[in-house]
Structures are given as structure tokens and as C-alpha cells.
Amino acid sequence: MYGFGIIKSLLLALQHFFGTYWDDFRYGRKRYKTPEGIAHRSSKNARGIFTIQYPEEKLPTPEEFRYIPFLLYEEGPNGEKVDRCTSCGICAKVCPPQCIWIVRSTEPVTGKPIPAPKEFYIDVDICMNCGLCAEYCPFDAIKMDHDYEISVYDRANNMYDKEKLSKPVSYYASIRPTNFVSEEKARKEVEAARAAAKAAQSTPSS
């Protein structure tokens, strides 16, 4: 029937309207600005219309959410930062808009290249958050961040340097716990296989 769809959509809007009051009645003040309320409104059980009171409250980001890449460093026993990056350049090669620049470290006397980044830049105005750099990095040294609150007044600040890009492995473990556990398991397996191969090579054959 002509117009039936319009009536149906209006009824649906009305249902959502009253559903909002029903959920407000059931959950009271807990519905807003509490982890429990946010979890409920993010779930399939939420009813009615709701508005996120950003920035006072924020929806939790899913683990696979990706924004700007960051570099991982291990925390040494004396608090020193040990970069995972070897400045191999693969991420810069695969980056579709070519927004990564790397300068490799060199040995001061001989000038020989050292597998560590001296400088590392990402132009976050150009980065399209595709995640290819993180996918291709053979050393798990670059990962996609969850932090999306990076607005600035001066765009000159959007050329992130190594200092700004670097975050500890513990931070990565906190935002992507499932990925972290599976990657660490794989890394340990590779290390164990390498150690076994080395031991086999050094064992004299009878």
C-alpha cells in the first residue's frame, strides 16, 4: 500500500523514542557515564535512542581498531629504551601514500650502517590508517594505535618523529592483549627453533 513504508518507519522511530525512556527507567543514572552503562549501550540489548556524551564518556575501542602507527620499544633492566625497529625500511616501501621516512643509524667511526633507526618520521596528515606497515613489519616493531584524540591547531605538529612515535611494549599489550599473546608465542617459537638449529650446528658429528 502506498505510504505504508512511511507509517512503518514513523512507528519504528516512536518505538525507539519510548525505548529510550524504558532503558532510562531500568538503568537510571547508571546508563550514562559509567562503564556499565556504556557497555550496555554498546551491546545488542540497548534500546531506544542514545547519545554519547563525548568527551565525558567514550565508547570502548575494539581491539582491531587502528589509527596512527606507533613504534615499539622494549624496556631494559635499567629503564633504557631498546627499539625493536631495525630500520629495514619495509614499512616505508609498502606504505601506499609514502608517508614514512627512516634514517638508519651508522657506526660513528667507520660509517657502517647499524640496524637501528636514527630518525623515523610519519606524516600523520597523509597516513590513511591502512595498517600495511604493521602487517608487513617482520620484527613486530610498528603497530596501529587506538589513540584517536590527536587534533592540533598547528599542522606542523603532525610530522611525528621517533620520540613521539615510540611507546613501550607494555602499552601495546594493554591495547591489543589477544594480538600480543599470540605474537609473543610465535616469537618465542621462532627463537627456540633458531636456538635449536644453532645448537645442532655446534654439536660435532661423530
List interacting residues with ligand SF4 (CB under 6 A). 69, 85-91, 95-97, 99-100, 102, 122, 127-133, 137, 139, 141-142
Q: 40 or 143: whose CB is closer to ligand SF4?
A: 143
What is d(CA 55, CA 7) in angstroms, rounded to the nearest whole number?
Answer: 36
Set of cell numbers at residue 84: 625493536
For the bound state, the minimum distance from the C-beta of residue 122 to ligand SF4, rounded and expressed in Å, comes to 5
Q: 11 or 128: whose CB is closer to ligand SF4?
A: 128
For the bound state, the minimum distance from the C-beta of residue 123 to ligand SF4, rounded and expressed in Å, comes to 8
Q: 57 or 183: whose CB is closer to ligand SF4?
A: 183
Q: 142 or 175: whose CB is closer to ligand SF4?
A: 142
Exposed/middle/buried for residue 154 (C-beta within 10 Å: 0-12, 13-18, 19+): exposed
For the bound state, the minimum distance from the C-beta of residue 80 to ligand SF4, rounded and expressed in Å, comes to 18
Query: Would you list the DSSP string of 141-196?
Result: -EEE--------S-GGGGEE-HHHHEEEHHHHHHH-HHHHHHHHHHHHHHHHHHHH
Exposed/middle/buried for residue 137 (C-beta within 10 Å: 0-12, 13-18, 19+): buried
Q: 38 or 100: whose CB is closer to ligand SF4?
A: 100
For the bound state, the minimum distance from the C-beta of residue 171 to ligand SF4, rounded and expressed in Å, comes to 16
For the bound state, the minimum distance from the C-beta of residue 205 to ligand SF4, rounded and expressed in Å, comes to 36
Closest CA to 134 of 196, 197, 66, 77: 66
β pairing state of 69-75 and 166-168: parallel
